[in-house]
């Protein structure tokens, strides 16, 4: 089982920033972050549709130019909202990237951004049109379906989209047949959002491959770096 640092361990660092993911890369096999387009067209790393919660500013990311975004700091940390390219350049190549597409119409630019990086990148989304676009543009790009509560047949949908990964809330992984069904068709399984080691152990016994957490969690009593988590570059 591998540990994914959700938003760069959002509970212990300013989420989705270069400082957060660099720190998390030393403690986890993979880092996860969110991507959307800002008002001047660049892809930026931020979870919410608006800047209100993480910067104290007001407005939609899609309506705010990069220059104005980067004049703000994230959660009063001094860290700025990074572009996707800047964040990718800052990561060590041994760490896996889980990149969640948070908005429509960014698939092609995401593929362009990750084309030359040496990290393994898994592009994920709840947005089915974006996943379809990824697969139409690149047959080989690792891709993952994130399962919403409203999606009734997640494994079937993931197979139809030609996904490599399926991600779901940990409770759904533990209480439904999603995991054995996904394993039967060769899907890698990610579970979120984990807070307790006991939950991690139950998910491991269930067959989950990766867990996503907002803070470092000891999976086996050892450090959760890439080598200990079974990560292969």
CATH number for position 155: 3.20.20.190
- Residue 164 within any structural domain of the chain: yes
Determine the Cα–Cα distance for residues 208 and 203; give it in Å rounded to an integer: 5
pLDDT at 221: 44
Q: What is the mean pLDDT of the chain?
A: 93
Asked, for residue 70, whether it belongs to a domain, the answer is: no
**Helices (H) then strands (E): counts for the chain:** 10, 9
* Span 84-100, average pLDDT: 97
* CA separation for the pair 199, 88 (Å, rounded): 31
| Residue 133 belongs to a domain | yes
Tens digits of residue pLDDT in 107-153: 999 999 999 999 999 999 999 999 999 999 999 999 999 999 999 99
**pLDDT tier at 218, thresholds 50, 70, 90:** confident
**Range name among 25-34, 173-182, 224-233 with the lowest pLDDT average:** 224-233
Which is nearest to 24 in space by CA: 215, 212, 231? Answer: 215
7 part of a folded domain: yes
Query: Does 113 map to a domain?
Result: yes
Whole-number percent of the chain with pLDDT over 90: 90
Number of domains in the chain: 1
User: What pTM, to 2 d.p., does this model score?
Assistant: 0.92
Instruction: Confirm whether 127 is domain-assigned.
Output: yes
Q: Are 94 and 231 in contact (CB under 8 A)?
A: yes
Tokens 């975004």, residue? 69
* Residue 16 domain-assigned (yes or no): yes
DSSP strand pairing (2-6 vs 210-213): parallel
Tens of pLDDT, residues 31-44: 999 999 999 999 99
Q: Locate the DSSP E strands across the chain.
A: 2-6, 30-37, 43-45, 96-101, 121-125, 143-146, 165-169, 188-194, 210-213
Range of the domain at 112: 2-35+92-213
Residue 228 located in a structural domain? no
């Amino acid at each position: 089982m591998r540990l994914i640092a959700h938003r760069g361990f959002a509970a212990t660092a300013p989420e989705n920033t270069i400082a957060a993911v660099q720190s998390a890369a030393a403690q986890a096999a993979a880092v996860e972050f969110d991507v959307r387009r800002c008002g001047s067209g660049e892809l930026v790393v931020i979870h919410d549709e608006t800047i209100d919660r993480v910067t104290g500013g007001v407005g939609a990311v899609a309506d705010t130019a990069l220059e104005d975004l980067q004049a703000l700091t994230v959660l009063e940390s001094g860290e700025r909202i990074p572009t996707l390219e800047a964040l990718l350049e800052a990561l060590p190549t041994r760490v896996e990237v889980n990149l969640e597409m948070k908005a429509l119409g960014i698939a092609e630019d995401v593929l362009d951004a990750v084309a030359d990086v040496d990290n393994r990148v898994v592009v994920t989304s709840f947005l089915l049109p974006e996943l379809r676009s990824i697969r139409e543009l690149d047959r080989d790009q690792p891709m993952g379906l994130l399962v919403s509560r409203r999606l009734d047949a997640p494994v079937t949908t993931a197979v139809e989209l030609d996904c490599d990964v399926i991600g779901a809330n940990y409770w759904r992984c533990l209480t439904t047949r999603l995991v054995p069904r996904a394993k039967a068709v060769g899907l890698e399984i990610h579970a979120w959002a984990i807070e307790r080691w006991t939950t991690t152990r139950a998910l491991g016994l269930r067959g989950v491959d990766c867990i996503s957490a907002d803070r470092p969690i000891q999976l086996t009593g050892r450090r959760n770096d890439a080598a200990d988590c079974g990560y292969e570059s």
